[in-house]
Chain A
Amino acid sequence: MVERSEISRDDALSRPQSGAMTASELEAWFVREILPLEAQLVQFLRRSWRNTSDIPDLLQEVYMRVCEAAQKQIPVPAKPFVFAVARNLVIDHVRREHVVSIESVSDPDAVETATEDPGPDRSAIARDELRRLEDALDRLPPRAREAMVMKKVDGLSRKEIAQRMGVTEKTVKWHLNEAVRALADILYGPEGSA
C-alpha cells in the first residue's frame, strides 16, 4: 500500500512566477523546458505504473496538467513542478483504480535528483545532438526510415516516394506518420537518451 501521507500535493505549487503566456510562448516554453524532461518522466512513470501500455496516456496527461498550470503561471523551476504533477497523477490513478502495487509511486526523488550535467562546450553538444539524431534514425522502423530519408534528405514528394518504394501513397503516408511519432519518442523518450 502506498503511503499517501508522504506525498504532499503542495509540491505541485512550487514557486510560480510571472504572468500568463500566449500560445506561442507556451509552445516555446514547453519545447524548451518540458520536453527535455520526457526521458526521466517516462522512466518515472514506468517505475510507478505497472501497465506500460498506459504510459502514453499518462504522459499526455502530465503534459496537459503542466501546460494548463503554465497558462496561468509559469512554474519556476519547471522540473520539480513536472515531477510533482506526475506523482500526483499517479496517485490519482491509484486511487481511482484501487489497484496498488508495491512499486507504485516509488522513489520519485531519485528521479528528481538525477544528474545535472556541467555544461560541456557548444560544439560537443552539437556533436552529441548529431549522434543522437543518427541513432534515432537507425532505430526507426526500416520502412519508416526509408520514407523519412527520402522526404527529408532528398526532398521527394509523397508520390515520388511511393513510386520508389513500390507502395501506395497511403502506405507512404503511414510510414511517414510512424516516422514522425517514433522520432519524437526516440528523441525525447528514455530510449533515445540511453
Chain B
Amino acid sequence: MSAATDIQTRAADWLLERREGKWNEARQAEFDAWMEESLAHRIAYWRLDAAWGRSDLLTAMRRPAFQRRAEPKRKAWPNLLRAAAAVVVIGAVAGAVQWFELAKPAEKTYATAVGERERLTLADGSQIELNTDSQVRTEIAANQRKIWLDKGEVYFEVKHNEKKPFVVLVGDHRITDIGTKFVVRRDKNGFKVSVLEGVVQLDDSRTAPKILTKGEVAVASTNRTQIVRQTQQELTDAIGWQRGVLVFDHTSLGEVASEFNRYSTTKIVIADPKTANLTIDGTFPSNNSRAFMRLAQAVLGLSVEDRGGEIVISK
C-alpha cells in the first residue's frame, strides 16, 4: 500500500468515526492532532469529506434501484433511535399506595418536544413510540388499558390480552386493539389510523364500528371516516420516522414542507402555490432538512433563503 493510500485509509476512518454517534472531545482532540500533524493528512481528509458530502445529494434521491439494494430486513424495533430521552413523566407518583392504584389506576403523561422521538414499554409490556411533538396519557388498570392521544403521532405494538382490552382514544373515537401493531396520527383536522399488523376496531359514538385489517388506513375528520388500503411499501414509508427518515413519493413540496415542519422549530415556507405543487421523491433525515434544501436548490433550481427561524423556498 502506498503512503498516500495509508493516509487516505486513516482519513476515511476519521471521517466515518466523526459521523458515528460516539464522537467525543477526546477523539476530537486526537483528530485535531492528526490533522495538525501534516498537510497531507488535511488534504486527504478534505478530499474524502468533499466526496462524501457530495453523495448526500444522491442519498436524498430514492430510486427503486437503491431501494432494492438498500431494503433493510426490518425488525420491529430498530435500535437506532438514540434521540435524547425527553419523555416527561407527569403522574401520580407520590404515595402510590397499592390499594389506591387498584381502585384508581395512575394516569401517566408522556410527551415529546418538537424533533424528539421516544419509545417506551408500558406497565403491561406493550410498546409505544412517540414521534415528534406528541403526547399521550396512559391508564393501565386491572381490567382495561386506556391511552389518550392528545396530539401527534404514536406507534403501538400491543401485547394482546382479551381480558384487558387496549383502547386508544382520539377525541370521541375509540380504537380497540385486537392483537396488533398500528400507528395513530392526530392533527388539527382529524386523525389517521394505519394498521401494520393484525386487526383493530374503530368506533365513534355515532356509527357502526369498523374493522380495520393489515394494510388498511382510516382517515377520520370531524364528520366522516374514509378507509383506504395501502401497499406494504407505503406503510413502511409512512413509519420511516421510526428510523429517523421521511420518505416522499411524488409528494408535493407544500406537503414536504409541512412534514419537515413537524420536526423542527425552524419552519420551511414555500413562497408560492406553483412551487408548492412541484412534486419530489426522496428519503431524507427527518431531523435535518439540509439534504432536502440542497435538492430543491440543485435539482429543482429553486431559491432557498434562510431568513433566520424561517426558510423560504421560491422560484
Contacts and interface: CB of A to CB of B under 8 A. Distances in A.
Interface of A: 23, 27, 30-31, 35, 53-54, 56-57, 59-60, 63-64, 67-68, 121-123, 125-127, 129-130, 133-134, 136-137, 145-146, 148-150, 152-160, 164, 173, 176-177, 180-181, 183-184, 187-188
For B46, B78, B301, the residue with the greatest tally of chain A CB atoms inside 10 Å of its CB is: B46
Contacts of A122: 298, 301
B39 A180 contact: no
Nearest to A159: B79
Nearest to A38: B47
Interface residues of B, number: 50
25 contacts: A23-B42, A30-B46, A31-B46, A35-B47, A60-B43, A60-B44, A63-B43, A67-B42, A121-B301, A125-B298, A127-B299, A129-B298, A130-B57, A152-B59, A153-B66, A154-B243, A156-B243, A157-B79, A160-B78, A160-B79, A176-B12, A177-B13, A183-B52, A183-B55, A187-B51
Contact of A60 (B7, B285, B298): B7
Interface string B274-315: 000000000101000000000000111100000000000000
B80 A155 contact: yes
B303 to A, nearest CB: 11
Nearest to B67: A153
Contact of A130 (B5, B46, B69, B299): B299
Given A30-B43, A154-B72, A155-B285, A129 B51 contact: no
Given A150-B70, A152-B59, A157-B21, 19 more contacts: A30-B46, A57-B3, A60-B3, A122-B301, A123-B299, A129-B57, A133-B57, A152-B55, A154-B243, A155-B80, A157-B79, A160-B80, A164-B72, A180-B16, A180-B51, A181-B8, A183-B51, A184-B51, A187-B54
Contacts of A157: 20-21, 79-80
B11 to A, nearest CB: 8
Contacts of B254: none
B188 interface: no
Name the residue in B3, B42, B55, B300 with the highest tally of chain A Cβ atoms < 10 Å from its Cβ: B55
B48 A180 contact: yes
Given A134-B58, A158-B20, A177-B13, A164 B73 contact: yes
Interface of B: 2-5, 7-9, 12-13, 15-16, 20-21, 39-40, 42-44, 46-48, 50-52, 54-59, 61-63, 66, 69-70, 72-73, 78-80, 243-245, 283, 285, 298-301
Contacts of B66: 137, 149, 153
Contacts of B301: 121-123, 126
A153 B43 CA distance: 27
B249 to A, nearest CB: 15
B25 to A, nearest CB: 20
Contacts of A126: 298-299, 301
A178 B13 CA distance: 10
